[in-house]
Structure 1
Amino acid sequence: MEGGSGSSSPCPLDKEFSDQIAVLLSPPSPESIKDYYDELMKTRKCNNLKINFSNSSGKAVYAIKEFEEGELVLKDQILVAAQHISNKVDCLVCSYCFRFIGSIELQIGRKLYLQELGLSANKECKESLSRFPEKACTRVLDDIKKHSVSNGSHGIGSSTYTNSKDNSIPTEVLQSLINGNMSLPYTNLFALPSIFYCPGGCKEEHYCSKLCTDLDWESFHSLLCTGRNTEPSKRDAILKFIEHSNGTNDIFILAAKVISYTILKFRKLKRLRFKENEKRAKLDETDFPLLLEAWKPVSMGFKKRWWDCIALPDDVDSSDEASFRMQLRDLAFTSLQLLKEAIFEDECAPLFSLEIYGHIIGMFELNNLDLVVASPVEDYFIHIDDLPSPEKVEAEKLTRPLLESLGDEYSVCCQGTGFYPLQSCMNHSCCPNAKAFKRDEDKDGQAIIIAARPIVEGEEITISYIDEDLPYDERQTLLADYGFRCMCPRCLEEMPGM
């Protein structure tokens, strides 16, 4: 099987499982698409929308009722998502639903403390975190708490890091915010869910509830956990994969979660079949349909090879295009080899082919929606600023130094990338009738789509994949990353020569 860009694949699994890979990557039939989305819409109670499919334009979402401007059109649950590594310094969120967790005090203290270690987003955070992973950040905070308990005080003595800024906050204050020994005024109005920890004992993942803890473990994390319960050689392999992803492209983390999701769902389907006494030991003609069924949610996403579908960057000459795409393929193969070392299973071997891995990454490039959750820290400081004068003056004795130390980064939201099965069916328009927009009540990572103008029954729901206020040529350049040229009414009107 070809690996794209005109050369054979360096991955032997591509050839060994070429037939199965071809089936996994074959476009679903119109009937299977209809059945899948009809069931998904029914399960999620999306009674006001329908998804149609045509061979010419693919999937599209249509309204089956009228929507007023600003009305909720869709609330779409994540299939798979991940917080950006550079954002983990700024925001402590649930690893499954991406709600902010802990307390306002913890969010502020943790962020300022980690920034003191040189890990802010404005200080090459991505590179720093690849050397100083999130688990180490968490352990630093654990060490602070342990020191506090052992000393019976809030101070951490001569071993502390010191803040070099003129508007620095004493480390003992940050420690008190982190460990809950210091309360800020009015934070009771912004209560956050308590923190639940990974059942496997790792320090990377945190949750807002037992439900999210269990769902993440059952869907993804049980294969990717680096905790004490993971076999040491496997744990080391996972850590190498994560370190490589953090240092290169964190989209590989998403690809790993897709593969983990499929393996775990395959196992579940197989267990159900075992109960019917139809045991099979290896991947064969009987087991492969189970793998196809486990893969079905991923099969519905439009996908191409990552290194083939990504637009050529402006700083890469067209004469170097083949080399550029080969470098991307080699980067993906390196990541795949590290992942294979960590979680490979013979029964699911086709999932570890470069062809499948490249298409999974390409799916995120072509279908992703930014994961955004507004920070309650921003809401908190806005509330303080809106207080009547006497209360505001008193509250700011504590909050003003913290706000000044945070600077412009006080309002940084949770940011990541996700794949949303229903939102991904919405086509682009440079004059869209809907938009992604988080309301005040939207506290987690679900995609929220609202009407940008009145929408009539039977009208296609469209969103913009880019900043639609850009000039025509810039819009078309950005949309090339999604693999198409926009022919919406606005683009037809603005097209040169028209």
Structure 2
Amino acid sequence: MEASPCPLEVEFSNQIAALLAPPSSKSIQEYYDGLLHETKSHFIRVEFNENGKGVFSNRDFKEEHLVLKDQMLVAAQHSSNKVDCFVCSRCFCYIGSVEVQIGRKLYLESLGLTTMDCDHQSEDQSFLQENDDETGSSAHKNNSFSMDVLQLLMDGNLFLPYSKQFTLPTIVACPGGCEEEHYCSKLCADIDWDTVHSLLCTGKTSDSFRQAALVKFTEHANRTNDIFILAAKVISFTILRYRRLKRSYLEGSKQPILNEAEGQSNLCILSEAWKPVAMGFKRRWWDCIALPDDIDSCQEASFRMQIRDLAFTSLQLLKEAIFDVECAPCILQESTAW
């Protein structure tokens, strides 16, 4: 395998290696013990060995009893799925209303973002056509709906039969004012903002340069592989956690940190910020991605180089927007998820 095309990866090679190193057994045990204590999950335990980790119950549970509600560190909705489902950007529950879900989907499909199955007509489509005729709107052509009807649905001024029996959370806008993220509650919006989204937001809180850089990064991810968006969230999560931990450390420190000790101190804080991700399996994406069926084994090395270069391009675009020199090892080594 050729050397990385990123010169900074050579500069921070030791720090990156430290972040990629498997955590010790003691570190793993302490992390999960702390996590179970924090979530008050007293009736389960985590055991691990060289083959992996497992969650075990300490007592018998009744049927349908909630044993563990695991929390996502980061997650992302597939770009293609955003046409079909309008969900909270943090917990991914459906939001708005049945009418908003259907109206939005049909509206986006009318723009050509997906292809509707013209051979199938649902009861909702029949109802919309009847309602459209009653309101005097233009007749449907080729199973499409008038924009007036779709707008009524999305604005909440047209109701489908029995939809009130399936209420959904009210839509909450992104705190930064972007149009990409929406939430089911202020709680979800605030948590996502504080832990991930504030660095990736393209709303009014971002300067024009960062907005443009983030748009380029997102467009590239949507054209190539939206795993890059998930990786960006991991980076943002770690940077923001690092900043909170460092702020807390500085506020609690009674003595100023000497310049020569600052670098080591920052790496220790970065390692702590990275710890939730460190507990997972880590390997460079281009080394572990499965070889596609249409790629011959003799072309494997070339294929993996192309994937690596694709990841490098994505990384460069993201660095333009959110690079933080103190977190450089984390940003650069995230090519493991890239």
Smaller-chain TM-score bracket:
0.7 to 0.9
SS where residue 59 of structure 1 aligns?
Answer: strand
SS where residue 76 of structure 1 aligns?
Answer: coil
Q: Distance in 2 between matches of 1:238 and 1:340?
A: 9
How far residue 155 of structure 1 moved from its aligned partner, in angstroms, is 10
Q: Contact 1:197 / 1:205 at 8 angstroms: preserved in 2? A: yes
2:72 counterpart of 1:78? yes
Deviation per residue, 1:70-104 (Å, 9 max, x gap): 66553322111000100111111111111111111
- The aligned residue for residue 210 of structure 1 is 186
- The aligned residue for residue 113 of structure 2 is 119
Q: Contact 2:85 / 2:94 at 8 angstroms: preserved in 1? A: yes
SS where residue 68 of structure 2 aligns?
Answer: strand
How far residue 291 of structure 1 moved from its aligned partner, in angstroms, is 0.5
1:229 to 205, 214, 231: 205
Deviation per residue, 1:380-399 (Å, 9 max, x gap): xxxxxxxxxxxxxxxxxxxx
- The aligned residue for residue 357 of structure 1 is 334
Q: Contact 1:197 / 1:207 at 8 angstroms: preserved in 2? A: yes
SS where residue 80 of structure 1 aligns?
Answer: coil
What count of residue pairs does the alignment treat as equivalent?
Answer: 318
Greater strand percent: which structure?
1
2:280 to 301, 322, 335: 301
Q: Distance in 2 between matches of 1:49 and 1:92?
A: 34
2:158 to 158, 176, 182: 182
Letter in 2 for 1:36: Y
Matches within 5 A, 1:34-433: 34-54=29-49, 56-66=50-60, 72-120=66-114, 164-165=141-142, 167-277=143-253, 284-353=263-332, 356-361=333-338
SS where residue 244 of structure 1 aligns?
Answer: helix
Q: Contact 1:93 / 1:206 at 8 angstroms: preserved in 2? A: yes
Q: Distance in 1 between matches of 2:6 and 2:137?
A: 52
SS where residue 194 of structure 2 aligns?
Answer: helix
Q: Distance in 2 between matches of 1:342 and 1:197?
A: 22
2:11 to 9, 16, 25: 16
Q: Distance in 1 between matches of 2:137 and 2:337?
A: 47
Runs of 5+ consecutive residues of structure 2 not aligned to the other structure? 118-134
SS where residue 282 of structure 2 aligns?
Answer: coil
Deviation per residue, 1:96-134 (Å, 9 max, x gap): 1111111111111111111111112669xxxxxxxxxxx
Q: Distance in 1 between matches of 2:140 and 2:241?
A: 48
Q: Percent identity?
A: 58
Change (3 A) 1:258 1:48: same
How far residue 69 of structure 1 moved from its aligned partner, in angstroms, is 7.0
Deviation per residue, 1:439-472 (Å, 9 max, x gap): xxxxxxxxxxxxxxxxxxxxxxxxxxxxxxxxxx
Q: Distance in 1 between matches of 2:136 and 2:256?
A: 60
Deviation per residue, 1:396-418 (Å, 9 max, x gap): xxxxxxxxxxxxxxxxxxxxxxx
Q: Distance in 1 between matches of 2:314 and 2:37?
A: 37
Q: Contact 1:89 / 1:121 at 8 angstroms: preserved in 2? A: no
SS where residue 287 of structure 1 aligns?
Answer: helix
SS where residue 285 of structure 1 aligns?
Answer: helix
How far residue 68 of structure 1 moved from its aligned partner, in angstroms, is 6.6
How far residue 174 of structure 1 moved from its aligned partner, in angstroms, is 1.0
Q: Contact 2:110 / 2:144 at 8 angstroms: preserved in 1? A: no
Q: Distance in 1 between matches of 2:177 and 2:238?
A: 23
Change (3 A) 1:243 1:164: farther
Q: Distance in 2 between matches of 1:315 and 1:333?
A: 24
SS where residue 234 of structure 2 aligns?
Answer: helix
- The aligned residue for residue 131 of structure 2 is none
Q: Distance in 2 between matches of 1:88 and 1:197?
A: 16
Q: Contact 1:90 / 1:120 at 8 angstroms: preserved in 2? A: no
SS where residue 265 of structure 2 aligns?
Answer: coil
Letter in 1 for 2:110: E
Letter in 1 for 2:335: G
Q: Distance in 2 between matches of 1:187 and 1:70?
A: 27
Q: CA RMSD in A?
A: 2.3
Q: Distance in 1 between matches of 2:283 and 2:25?
A: 19
Q: Contact 1:87 / 1:121 at 8 angstroms: preserved in 2? A: no
Q: Distance in 2 between matches of 1:272 and 1:52?
A: 31
How far residue 14 of structure 1 moved from its aligned partner, in angstroms, is 1.3
Q: Contact 2:109 / 2:116 at 8 angstroms: preserved in 1? A: no
- The aligned residue for residue 29 of structure 1 is 24
